[in-house]
Each structure stands twice: as structure tokens, then as C-alpha cells.
Amino acid sequence: MGLERQTAGGAPEGHAAARASCWIQGGRVLVVALSVWIVLGAFGCGRGEGTGEVDFSGPISEWRHWGGTRGASHHSELKQITPENVRSLEVAWTHRSGDYFDGSGSSKVSSLQVTPLVVNDLLYYCTPFMRVFALDPETGEERWSFDPDFKERHGEGPYPLICRGVAYWEDSDAEPGAVCSKRIFYGTADSELHALDADTGKSCEGFGERGRVALREGIGEAPPWEYHPTSPPQVIRDRVVIGALVADNVRVDAPGGVVRAFDARTGELEWAWDPVPPNWPSEPDPETGRRFTPGTPNIWSIITGDAERGIVYVPTGNPSPDLFGGLRNGLDYYGSSTVALDAETGKVLWNYQYVHHDVWDYDTPSPPTLFQAEGVGGGVPGLIQTTKMGHVFLLDRETGEPLYPVEERPVPQGGVPEENLSPTQPFPTHPKPLHPLVLSPKDAFGFTPLDRADCRRLVESNRYEGIFTPPSVAGTIQMPHTSGGMNWGGVAINEATGTMIVNQIHAGLVNKMIPRAVADTLDESDFGYPNEYYEMKGAPYAINRYLFGSLFGAPCNPPPWGSVTAVDLRSGEVKWTRPLGTLRELAPWPIWALYTDYGAPAFGGGISTDSGLYFIGAAMDKYFRAFDVETGDELWRHRMPFAGNSVPMTFRLRKDGRQFVVIGAGGNPLGDMGDALIAYALPE
């Protein structure tokens, strides 16, 4: 489930030390003089300072929605910061909330994945401890803060604490200046939907129960960490539409993945979509209070909307448990799909599925991105859906029909006997899949002959027949990883040029199904990230999965292990692709200095601007980067105190004002964790 699932636990100290030791041993064979030369060349020497002159003639723009627009285009018309002056960017202000775990003496972890909003002359963002801050957008000075008295701040559970963002709404029926005529909505990790006065930060007393609505009603019994929202709601046509994360691979009868819409003024429930097949018999359980069907696909990622057409688009996850589907009995119907719902009624308008009978945790991770571009699909209103497989689907947003041919191709069969796998899976042809889909023993990677042989052994000893090779008792390589390919950061799309830019992770894992009789004899404490164990209670198997990596801790597939790619959606062809990130923070010096083009896992996404820039953090090496949209050249980078595993945003509020680019840099459990919200601008 995006970053949450892949960072569900912390690597044991012994494992981390062993991995570091292996990296160091490998590094001893490297030439120090060469590494110094690479450091000087790659990290700033001879780059020049650029020109910091500020042009005040350009447009102004807020950032009113999580992705810039309701359709999550992640593109801005701003152009004060240009390829010519971007090297002069400097930190304008930094805000520190103090809301993070440092990983010491506690199993609890946090990740600052938030994308702020700038609207109503304020910048709004939420923290992993579920607090909301309103800041002066140009100075970072606090205007107000709200603390929901988050009950589970020190509770248990496998997931990092995450709040990806808030939503803003204005009441068109309210008197100007009335209390709560402007509102901030967001969901918390203890499953409450809050409504705040956007001017003061105080709870809107008339919404729900004194400003909050309980989201666990009808869910049934479940610990707090098993069900809660992590992504911002979509507020459309005076309705607050919200889904929730459901923990992966815990049990067959996990909480249902219901999507609900609440009246933005009163908090009254307007509709609830229970993602079950048509004509599915409803069976509420009065003893547990469960009203919604257990085990249905959940909607943990970002919901987008088309206000003009009155449609919300929800990206769905897998039925429970993710890696075994033999007991689903048809609940796959809406799994791993995009589903279009009527915003006023919750009625399904159309649905399109990207993985049939998903047993790989290839849930739909990213926001369905809305666009309309001349020369793309006949210029009709479209939708881009990226996937963990590296597949990009272009659909008609009104009908759900593909804009270009999608082929149903045969895929590997077998796995475990209780499964009923789909014989085919859909493959887009425009653009073609962006993730490598082949791997053989000769492709096994290694820094040295020793770790290369170790990787070759893994390829030879586990089944791999290409993408969609099903999990098995003997062991199966899954490529791409459950983190992607592409993930929740989504794409940036410039509708004027038809250019889409997206980042990817290139790594794999090994799945081993464990028969229940054997699983019942195991001690779960013997497992820990990255050697994960999931019980899948109620299924005939548990699952053990771990990184498809060498004894040095590096992925066994060839680099790059992280990339950013620009695609011309008119032709469907790749314009350019570049490695994203370095091995800094993941490997000791001089290895990270020598291998500068290997890329690295990158969690988050980027934004593009009309001036021709693409901004992205995401990578584990703590750098915030700017790329040239046309060439893919890296034009600027700045090292932050923590990795920017989020999606940035940009704004400019005054004709005589500066353009700011803001990113949440809080790291994640795979590295340092922190709390820096950083704003960049050209010098005054």
C-alpha cells in the first residue's frame, strides 16, 4: 500500500549493521581518487550560479487543491522561476512542527508526505501527528494551529503516521465573513473527519459532533491502525468524499473499503458506496455493528473530481488479503480499478480494471489525473491512470473507454492450487509499458562477482516468467515491487504540450506462500523488515516476502533503481528518461559517489511549470531537484535535512511578489525522520 506497506517495520539493528558492513567491504575495491573526481563533478563544482533576476510580469496563482487542480494535474502556469535562473533558488523559510518520531526507543514511525494548500491568503498543511497549521505563505509565520488530541499518537501498529493533505471549501450560501463560511476538511489516523474554520482554525461546531464525524461507524471491530484515512478528501458539490486505508494481508474479513460522502455544512451522511459487485446481497452484522461488506477493495490513495460533470474518480485497492484471492467469491469486481461515481448520489457511472484477480498487491496507487489535450485521444476530456506495473492507461473520463487500444495478453498461471487466476491481463499500447518487464539470470546485477553470483542464485532458485508471475510456495520473484513502478505521487501533465512526467521505482521482491499448518508453528518475532511476514488470517496460506536483493542489500535487477520519465502523450513515445536519486544515505562513501547514475527508490512525485521546469524531491538522498522539461537535464539541486518523500507545490500571490516552491521534507522510516516544510524562492 504505497510507502506505508513497504515501511511497515524497522530493519533490525543487526540487519542494518550487516548490510552496512557488506557495502563497506565492497567499497574497499573502489578507487578513492576516482570517487573524489565524481563528487566534484556531480555535486556542484563548475555549475555556476545562474541569474537570480526576478521578473514580476508573469501570472499569479494559488494552489487550491492537493494536486493543484481537482484533477491532480500537478502543473502550474507560473513561470517566474525559469531554466535560466533556477540555479539561484534559495531557502525562503522553513517551518518545523516538531511532529515526528526519530525512531529511537520506539517502534512507531512517521513520514511527512503532505502537500500544502495555498488559498485564502494562507498556507495549510497537516502533520503526521494530525495537527493542522496555517502559515503566512510568503514568510512561514504561524497564523494558527489545530490539535485534534490524536488518541493514537503513541499507539501500536505497523504503519507510519501519515497525513498527505487537507481540503478547502467555501460555503456559497453563507454570509461573507460568517464563522466557518470557509472550511478546512481532513481525516485523521484515529478515523475522524474534521471541519475547521479556515480563518481561525477552530472546529466548526455545526458539523457532525462539534466539528468532527466518526468514520468507523459500520466498519466493525478493528484496531485503529487497521482502518484510517491517509489521503485528503475530495470536496465537490458541497459534499466531502473520503475513503480509507485498510491494512494489507492481515485477514480475509478485513474492514470494508467503503467510500462515503458527507454534507459539507452539517456532516450528515449523504451516501456510502460499498464496493461490492452489482446485486451483491447485503449482510449487516448487528452484533459487531458492521454495515459494510468486509474484505472489499479499499480507497487509500487520492480521490479526484470533475465539478462540471459532477463525478468523483476513486482508485481502488485489492480485496483482502492482497496476495491470496481464492476466497474472494467475486469481490475482485471493483479491485485494482478506477471507478467513476456520481458525486451527488454515489452511483457507479463506469469502472475500468487494470489487474484482474490481483494477487500481487498491484492496487491502483495514484490519483486518476484529469486532462484534455489537443491531439491526445481526439481531444476528448481524458483521464490518466498510472499503475505499480509501470503501465499508463488513457481513458475517456466520461465513459471509461480507453482512448487507445489495450491488449489482453496471456500471463503466467499456476501458483497455489486454491487460486483461480485470470488467464490474461490488460496491457496498454499508447504509451507502451514504462517499466522493464524481463529478467533472466544473466541480467542479475552486482557490484562485485560475489554479490552478482548471489543475485544470479536468487533468479535461478525462484520462479519468474515475467510480470504477473503468481506467488507460490517454492518462491516467486515479483517485478515490479509492490511500491511500483509508479505510486501515489502521480504524474505532472502539461495539457498545452501533451507532456506527462512521472517517477518510478525499479525493484522487485520475492513472495513465498506458507501453508497454514506450517505458518501456525512460526514465531512472528523472527521476522522483521525487510524480511516480512503476514498472517493472512482465514486464508490457507500466510506470506513471507522480502527484497529481491543481494547480500550487500542492493536490488538484484539492473539499475537504475529509480527514474523520472517524460512522455509525449500525442505520439505515445518517451521524450526522455533519467535516473532519479543517488545511493547517498543508502550506501557508504565512496560507493554512492562512484555510482551516480544508478538512481534510488523514490517515494512521492513532482510538479511541472509553464516555464519548462519539473520539480521533484522523492529520492532517498535528501535532494530537491529541478529538471528541464524538454531535455531532462538536471538544472538545480539542493540538499535538505531530510528526504522529501512528498509532492511539492508552487504559488505566487502578488503581482510584485515572488514565486515559491514548497516541499515537505520529513524523510521516512528507511532513513532519517524529521519535520521540515521548506519554501524556496529567488533572492529578493
Buried b (16+ CB within 10 A) or exposed e, 330-351: ebbbbbbbbbbbbbbebeebbb
443 is catalytic: no
Asked whether 338 and 368 are in contact (CB, 8 A), the reply is yes
Asked whether 588 and 20 are in contact (CB, 8 A), the reply is yes
Asked whether 197 and 185 are in contact (CB, 8 A), the reply is no
Check residue 442 and report its DSSP letter.
Answer: G
Hey, what's the cell of 162?
501519515
541-547 β-sheet, strand order: 476-478, 509-515, 541-547, 532-534
Hey, what's the cell of 150?
490524536
Nearest to 89 by CA among 651, 645, 637: 637
Nearest to 324 by CA among 359, 373, 374, 274: 359
Hey, what's the cell of 274?
460499498
The Cα 298–Cα 537 span in angstroms is 18
Asked whether 272 and 258 are in contact (CB, 8 A), the reply is yes
Check residue 332 and report its DSSP letter.
Answer: G
The Cα 338–Cα 612 span in angstroms is 30
The Cα 549–Cα 481 span in angstroms is 12
The Cα 359–Cα 537 span in angstroms is 16
The Cα 395–Cα 382 span in angstroms is 6
Residue with cell 452489482: 278
Tell me the CA distances in angstroms from 28 to 14, 21, 24, 62, one per residue in order.
Answer: 21, 11, 6, 51
Tell me the CA distances in angstroms from 534 to 103, 247, 248, 521, 679, one per residue in order.
Answer: 22, 11, 8, 14, 40
Hey, what's the cell of 286?
448487528
DSSP letter for each residue of 137-206: TTT--EEEEE----TTTT---SSPB-----EEEE-TTSPTT-TTSEEEEEE-TTSEEEEEETTT--B-TT
DSSP letter for each residue of 292-315: S-TTPPP--S--EEETTTTEEEEE
- CA-atom Rg of the chain in angstroms: 24
Residue with cell 512525485: 605
Catalytic residue among 199, 358, 361, 451: 361
The Cα 286–Cα 467 span in angstroms is 43
Positive/negative CA dihedral, 482, 677, 674, 168: negative
Known catalytic residues?
Answer: 361
